[in-house]
Chains A and B, each alone.
Chain A
Amino acid sequence: MATSAPAVKATPWNDPATRPYVEIDRVTKSFGEFKAVDDVSLKIYKGEIFCLLGASGCGKTTLLRMLGGFEIPTSGRIFIDGEDMTGVPPYERPVNMMFQSYALFPHMTVEQNVAFGLKQDGVPKAEIADRVATMLELVKLGGLGKRKPHQLSGGQKQRVALARSLVKRPKLLLLDEPLGALDKKLREHTQFELVSLQDKLGVTFIVVTHDQEEAMTLASRIGVMNHGEIVQAGTPSEIYEFPGSKFVADFVGSVNIFEGKLVEDEPEHVRIASEELGGTIFVSHGISAPPEAIVWAAIRPEKVFMSTAAPEGTDNVVRGAVQDIAYLGDLSIYLVKLPTGKVVRVTQPNTSRHAEAITWDQQVYLSWDSTSPVVVTR
């Protein structure tokens, strides 16, 4: 999975001296009894693509709408480029939004749609024409300016919406599920285009998505949301390799989670006895948890090795029978059933065209590196 973030070469979030560009300070939004966004604080830096990732109803769209000015926080403050924007209406914010439905004006042509915001600001006519043409060229819609939205394909509409929200050169662009309505091939293609466009223009993006792959490809950092809270924020690789909780581990990518008890707790290693696994898990780093605590070891499917011959050692090895195989071309997914009944997911790249195939019901050994498991306590 791509974890590169071309727009942000440095990591300003690790440098306490950098002033955040967008600061969300203890923001809560309640609708009656229901807290859609619950005490969220976030610092987002200039030039970032920050993805808010979460399942539907987790509050990510509400948070985005508060940044756009469409909702007023119940409590807390929002600063953009140092200015308090908490109660500022959308038409006075240096922020633009690309809506999930695109919200193109059906009675206007593509050009008129893109020009709308500039006209509203009283930009001179010649400059409007110039900027609209440049923007349409940039999103590869040159020549379609005279069309009406209903004459465009989904991908073209998406570009018009993008052009319309970028043409005002906002300080911050909010994107609500920007690729949600596109089919898979087009989505992948557009993801990369979006990143290169963002790199070119240097606008800070905040993207809302429920698609973890989309978040991984686009983001400089991801904020995983659940029940109105930010559960974890970090770079895509941090989120994927060092999830802080069962929820994050499970939500981002697939994972095998084994519940177990901490039986050996040393500064440089721990050992977990797991009934689910029917064995012990050896982890080559210390964790902070009370002794005998119930913990969970999360192991990614691609970090599990599968072999027909018994590997050395007794830790991090289990036997099982192949229950199911899904051949995906580039890789295969194996579901291996352990004697305890637990099913483990293993992915293996199909590196050879004529590999000696492991088949259904075959007895195999599963093993993993002692650095692979991530131990979480919640």
Chain B
Amino acid sequence: MRRTHTLRRFGITGRGLVVALPYVWLLLFFVVPFAIVLKISFSDVDLAIPPYKPLIEWTAKNALAIKINLNNYAFLFTDSLYLNALVNSIKVAFISTLLCLAVGYPMAYGIARSTPSTRNLLLLLVILPFWTSLLLRVYAWIGLLKANGVINNVLISLGLIHEPLTMLYTPFAMYVGIVYSYLPFMILPLYANLEKMDWQLLEAAEDLGCRPYQAFYKITLPLSRNGMLAGSMLVFIPAVGEFVIPALLGGPNALMIGRVLWDEFFSNRAWPVASAVAILLLIILVPFMMWYQSVQARESAGAR
């Protein structure tokens, strides 16, 4: 009892602690790292450890000097490499999102309409790939797609092709890898949405003259918009910054912003430019996240 009392005096309550926890988490693991990256993006390159000059310095005259260097940002716009990589990343992420939606929707729909016992099994199968590391799974795709890989060997032995198909290190392989890896992020929110669907609405639509496909188009599809949006954002946002899959499956032409970031950071040791790239990427993605949030908020306020 006395201990609670002491804590109270400092304004600490159990409830306050619970509420504070996520904020502390965000502060430690989001705000602080972000501030560090932001700081680095405004500093100069230096041959030192760490490889940049401090932002705040005591000058010889005992004055505090803050140097904000905008050159790193300006540099991103002078070399077309960065903008090309950015545009390409957004393009790849966009196409991947559409592909995930096209593949994931029927799967989520099928799961939502299956009987509860098969449903759990199917959901388990969707989540199962997460039990091994992403890197291993991407390497497995190399084994499948390469010239003397499983797919080519099977096709040749079936007599369907005579020369092995070039699949690895092409955009095709990259899309296969991205769609494969991100598919669960599309399926799960879509499933959560479709699972809440009142299927009687489809009967009502059929009763009013809709064929089943029309009922799907007019009822199911608009009502699952939120799930599609959630899934698309969960695929699109990380896919823009994807580094591993394009690097391993996509070959040299797959110029993605994640790759550029990596190169700047580790090959060029240009931490300030790399940080500027990271900040720019964030600025581009924030509007998508905000839009998604506002749609979600509006829907949950309205749909009840």
Query: Interface residues, chain A, CB within 8 Å of chain B?
Result: 68-70, 89-91, 95-97, 99, 101, 103-107, 116-117, 120-121, 148, 150, 164-165, 168
Report the minimum CB–CB distance from A85 to chain B (whole Å).
Answer: 13
- Max count, chain A CB within 10 A of own CB: residue among B203, B207, B304: B207
Report the minimum CB–CB distance from A46 to chain B (whole Å).
Answer: 21
Report yes or no: B198 in contact with A90, Cβ–Cβ below 8 A: no
Report the minimum CB–CB distance from A71 to chain B (whole Å).
Answer: 11
Count of interface residues, chain B, beta-carbon cutoff 8 Å = 20
Q: A103-B203, A106-B223 are in contact. Are A164 and B303 (CB under 8 A)?
A: no
Inside 8 A of B302's CB, which chain A residues have their CB?
A: 148, 150
Report yes or no: A101 in contact with B203, Cβ–Cβ below 8 A: no
Inside 8 A of A165's CB, which chain B residues have their CB?
A: 207
Report the minimum CB–CB distance from A287 to chain B (whole Å).
Answer: 46
Report yes or no: A150 in contact with B303, Cβ–Cβ below 8 A: yes
Closest 5 CB pairs of A and B: A117-B208, A103-B204, A120-B209, A90-B206, A103-B200
Q: A148-B302, A150-B302 are in contact. Are A91 and B204 (CB under 8 A)?
A: no
Report the minimum CB–CB distance from B276 to chain A (whole Å).
Answer: 43
Q: Which of these, A70, A106, A150, A164, contacts B208 with CB under 8 Å?
A: A164
Report yes or no: A91 in contact with B200, Cβ–Cβ below 8 A: no
A-B pair number, CB within 8 angstroms: 60
Interface residues of B: mostly helix, strand, loop or mixed? helix
Report yes or no: A116 in contact with B207, Cβ–Cβ below 8 A: no
What's the Cα separation between A107 and B205 when bound, in Å? 13
Report yes or no: A120 in contact with B214, Cβ–Cβ below 8 A: yes
Report the minimum CB–CB distance from B208 to chain A (whole Å).
Answer: 3
B279 interface contact, C-beta 8 A: no
Inside 8 A of A90's CB, which chain B residues have their CB?
A: 203, 206-207
Kindly supply a per-residue 1/0 record for chain B positions 208-227, scoring 1 wherever the CB is within 8 Å of any chain A CB and 0 otherwise.
Answer: 11110010001100110000
Report yes or no: A99 in contact with B206, Cβ–Cβ below 8 A: no
Report yes or no: A120 in contact with B210, Cβ–Cβ below 8 A: yes
Of all chain A residues, the one with the shortest Cβ separation from B214 is A120
Report yes or no: B209 in contact with A117, Cβ–Cβ below 8 A: yes
What's the Cα separation between A104 and B208 when bound, in Å? 12
Inside 8 A of B208's CB, which chain A residues have their CB?
A: 91, 96, 116-117, 120, 164, 168
Report the minimum CB–CB distance from A168 to chain B (whole Å).
Answer: 7
B154 interface contact, C-beta 8 A: no
Q: A105-B219, A107-B223 are in contact. Are A96 and B207 (CB under 8 A)?
A: yes
B201 interface contact, C-beta 8 A: yes
Report yes or no: B304 in contact with A150, Cβ–Cβ below 8 A: yes
What's the Cα separation between A293 and B302 when bound, in Å? 66
Query: Interface residues, chain B, CB within 8 Å of chain A?
Result: 198, 200-201, 203-211, 214, 218-219, 222-223, 302-304
Report yes or no: A106 in contact with B303, Cβ–Cβ below 8 A: yes
What's the Cα separation between A96 and B205 when bound, in Å? 10
Inside 8 A of B209's CB, which chain A residues have their CB?
A: 91, 117, 120-121, 168
Report the minimum CB–CB distance from A162 to chain B (whole Å).
Answer: 13
What's the Cα separation between A105 and B202 when bound, in Å? 9
What's the Cα separation between A103 and B222 when bound, in Å? 15
**Further contacts, 11 of them, CB under 8 A, given A103-B201, A117-B209, A120-B214:** A89-B206, A90-B207, A91-B206, A95-B207, A96-B208, A97-B207, A99-B204, A105-B204, A106-B223, A116-B208, A150-B303
Inside 8 A of B214's CB, which chain A residues have their CB?
A: 120
Q: A107-B222, A107-B223, A148-B302 are in contact. Are A99 and B210 (CB under 8 A)?
A: no
Of all chain A residues, the one with the shortest Cβ separation from B211 is A91
Q: A91-B211, A106-B223, A164-B208 are in contact. Are A99 and B303 (CB under 8 A)?
A: no
What are 28 inter-chain pairs, A to B, with CB distance below 8 A?
Answer: A68-B207, A69-B206, A69-B207, A70-B207, A90-B203, A90-B207, A91-B206, A91-B207, A91-B208, A91-B211, A96-B207, A96-B208, A97-B203, A97-B204, A99-B203, A101-B200, A103-B201, A103-B204, A106-B201, A106-B223, A116-B205, A120-B208, A148-B302, A150-B302, A150-B303, A150-B304, A168-B208, A168-B209
Of all chain B residues, the one with the shortest Cβ separation from A107 is B222
Of all chain A residues, the one with the shortest Cβ separation from B199 is A103
What's the Cα separation between A2 and B302 when bound, in Å? 42
What's the Cα separation between A180 and B219 when bound, in Å? 25
Report the minimum CB–CB distance from B179 to chain A (whole Å).
Answer: 29
Q: A90-B206, A106-B223, A120-B208 are in contact. Are A99 and B304 (CB under 8 A)?
A: no
What's the Cα separation between A326 and B218 when bound, in Å? 54
Inside 8 A of A164's CB, which chain B residues have their CB?
A: 208
Q: A91-B209, A148-B302, A150-B302 are in contact. Are A105 and B201 (CB under 8 A)?
A: yes
Of all chain A residues, the one with the shortest Cβ separation from B202 is A103
- Max count, chain B CB within 10 A of own CB: residue among A89, A97, A103, A150: A103
Inside 8 A of A120's CB, which chain B residues have their CB?
A: 208-210, 214
